[in-house]
Every structure is written in C-alpha cells, then in structure tokens.
Amino acid sequence: MRAVPREALATLRAIGARRRPRARASVARGSSEAAERVFASTSESATAKLARALARTARNGDVICLRGRVGSGKSALARAFVRARLGDARADVPSPTYLVQQRYETATGEVHHYDLYRLTGEGEVLAMCDLRESANGAISVVEWSERLGRLTPEERLEVHVETTSGEASELGEVIQTDEDDEEDSDEEDEEDEEVDGEEVDEAYVDVAPRMYRLVGFGRWASLVRELKL
C-alpha cells in the first residue's frame, strides 16, 4: 500500500478543526465528542425522509460517512440526499461505483458523492478522489467510508445502515411518513446497480426494515441529538 502523504492527512483532518459546540450527554469516541441516535425505516419513502432531514442540516465542508453491507440501503440514502440538496426528486443520481466520484452543483454549493467500494486503501483513495477540494467547501457523501482509514476526518456524521428482521419499533425511532412523503418517493427513479455480478444497494426490493444508526462527531454531535424529520 502506498504511504499516505502527511500533507494529505492534515488536509482531511482539517475538516474537523472548526470550533465545536459543547455536547451534552455525549458518547465518548476517541478524541472527539459524539452523540448517537437510531432510526428505523420500513420503506424507501421513510429512508428518503431521513435523507431530506440530513440534507437540510448539512453545510459545505461536512462529511457524511455511510457504512453497511452490500444491499443494505446506502445508495438509496445517498441518492435521496443528493436529490434533496438539488431540490429535484427526479434528478438522475447514478451510483459512482465505477467513476468513484460524482459532483453535483446546487444553489448553495457542490455535493460530492463518493463510492469507495472498488478501492483497497488510503493510497488509492488519494489517487482517485479529490479530497482536498471536497474538504475546502463541498458536502461529501461517502459510501464505503471504511476505505478512508486514517483519512477519516474527526468531525463527521457516520450513518451505519443495516437490514434487519426485527420489528421496527424495537430497532429505534420509527420514521413516520405521510401521503406527501409517499408521493415524493414515487417520483424517484430507482436504478439497479451491479458490481461484478453483485447487486449493489438495490433499493427496497425486500420488506425488511432498515436500521440507520447515526453517530455524530464534533458539531454533528449536537445536530444528531436535535435532528427533526
């Protein structure tokens, strides 16, 4: 594995260098304060509602790290997030599995959507991703963020996605939807993505609930606690 330049590490970690609000009842995670909430989604429209809440909350320079197995629903959440920032529920948001990075211009700045599935470590991440530019002002949504390794910024939102067989009410805060939410979801064009014969995050072809565990570090600690759907 190629050594990671010290300057590049400093650039990514600088994302979390902003002054952080004092957190209440936070969960200790390494050197940063953190707060955690768990949401349960029983439909794609519920997932999109969570994504819209995150899109309203995020600001330029933020990093949202998505983690979960193939098919868990990371791409569905990322797609809904990008569409919310664009203000277009029908926007074409393809998976960046092959290109690694997709950029979207919004009225308030860029969103950089990364999928690091095919990358093997920090050296490849640095070679394939323009992390410096993302850190300087875009919102970054990173699927398979485990690949970032030491490049993971201290200040971030982690979203751990899991498909479960339990009752939604036992998993966490159930995301309630109304007719407007269902209509928004119906407008979204879902695409099946494949990687080496495997379907990647094929959105909600099953009825299993999704558990979204949000862990906020730095300024995201208070934002997670106060998040309103």
Read off the CATH number of the domain in which 117 is found.
Answer: 3.40.50.300
Residue 93 in this model has a pLDDT that exceeds 70: yes
**What's the number of CA atoms in the CB half-sphere (13 Å) around residue 33?**
16
The reply to whether 103 falls in a domain is: yes
Across all residues in the chain, what is the average pLDDT? 82
Residue identified by tokens 């203000």 is 87
In a domain, 189, yes or no: yes
Q: What is the pTM of this model?
A: 0.78
- Does the residue 2 lie in any domain? no
Let me know if residue 20 belongs to a domain: no
Is the residue at 19 inside a domain? no
What is the distance between the alpha carbons of residues 211 and 192, in angstroms, rounded to a whole number? 21
Question: What contacts 12, CB < 8 A, 6 or more positions away?
Answer: 131, 135, 148, 151, 152, 153
Q: Which domain holds residue 71?
A: 7-12+26-226
Q: In the chain, how many domains are there? A: 1
Looking at the domain assignment, is residue 109 inside a domain?
yes
Mind listing the pLDDT tens digit for each residue in 203-222? 555 568 899 999 999 999 99
